[in-house]
Amino acid sequence: LWPNPNQRLKRSGQDFSCQLIIGLENVAFDRAKFFALVEKACLAGVTVVQYREKGVERPDFLEQLSVAKALKEICRKTKTLFFIDDNVDLAIASGADGVHVGQDDTSVQSIVRRAPELFIGLSVSTMEEFEASREDMPYLAYIGVGPVFDTTTKKDAKPAIGLNGLAVLKAAATVPVIAIGGINEKNAKAVYQAGADGVAAISSITKSKNLVKTIQQLSQSQEE
């Protein structure tokens, strides 16, 4: 598995700090709204778009591929990183920059073997999961840590870990920590104060009434 291309890319200074996670179900399958929202969010300063289809009504692979290719084009134009949730085939086929996986998805090691050029993000909810993923760390662009707060968006979300849980995982982490779960304009500051290097959000962005302001607040970093 060595040398590690992800580490090489990581050193080129990519910014994973403000991630919009979105699928068609998050905008009630309104495609016009979906693409307009993503483009506006990219222009407003989102640094990563992660395409994630989870619902029972989710489009089939070919339809997801056409959506993903259109998203990739928006991201290319706006210099935004483009990730796919879970699906390594879709990430490869759409020319994505990265793939985000959970603890029960395709293993990090197998992604590195198959598509060494992809950035990889991994969800970590507990210290136990962190310990179990230690050997993956050198291959990761970031870990997604949470849910920090209660979320209604992910039906099978694990229990919220709170700001303390986030701080504990940040203290152990050797890669950027991207906080997720119930993060919004109001609590983002506390999330950064607890040690997050960045945030990922679905509802606070997709339901925002003022995208520019929301993304400004989600992007605030520790130096403020």
Binding site for ligand TZP (CB under 6 A): 21, 146-147, 151, 153-154, 157, 180-183, 201-204
SS3 state of residue 93: helix
Q: Which does 146 bind (CB under 5 to 8 A by kind): Mg ion, ligand TZP, none?
A: ligand TZP
Contacts of 15 (CB under 8 A, 6+ apart): 47, 48, 81
Q: Is 129 exposed, middle or buried (0-12, 13-18, 19+ CB in 10 A)?
A: middle
Q: Is 131 annotated as a binding residue?
A: no
Residue 202 interface partner, choices Mg ion, ligand TZP, none, CB cut-off 5-8 Å depending on type: ligand TZP
**Partner from ligand TZP, Mg ion, none contacting 181, C-beta within 5 to 8 A by type:** ligand TZP
Query: Considering beta carbons, is residue 138 or 162 the nearer one to ligand TZP?
Result: 162
CB 146 within 8 A of CB 180: yes
* 28 CB neighbour count, 10 Å cutoff: 9
Q: Nearest Cα to 144, choosing from 92, 64, 85?
A: 85
CB of 150 to ligand TZP, least distance (A): 8
Nearer to ligand TZP, 117 or 187 (CB): 187
Smallest separation, CB 156 to Mg ion (Å): 10
Q: Is 69 annotated as a binding residue?
A: no
Is 86 annotated as belonging to a binding site?
yes
**Nearest CA among 35, 51, 39, 152 for reference residue 93:** 51
Q: Is 85 annotated as a binding residue?
A: yes
Q: How far is the CB of 105 from Mg ion (least distance, A)?
A: 5
The least CB distance from residue 153 to ligand TZP, in Å, is 3
Start-to-end CA span in the chain (Å): 39
Q: List CB contacts of 84: < 8 A, sequence separation 6 or more.
A: 50, 51, 52, 68, 90, 91, 94, 96, 98, 99, 100
Backbone angles phi, psi at 157, to 5 degrees: -65, 145
Q: Which does 86 bind (CB under 5 to 8 A by kind): Mg ion, ligand TZP, none?
A: Mg ion
* Residue 201: contacted member of ligand TZP, Mg ion, none (CB under 5 to 8 Å, by partner type): ligand TZP
Minimum CB separation of residue 54 from Mg ion in Å reads: 8
Residue numbers at the binding site for Mg ion (CB under 5 A)? 86, 102, 105
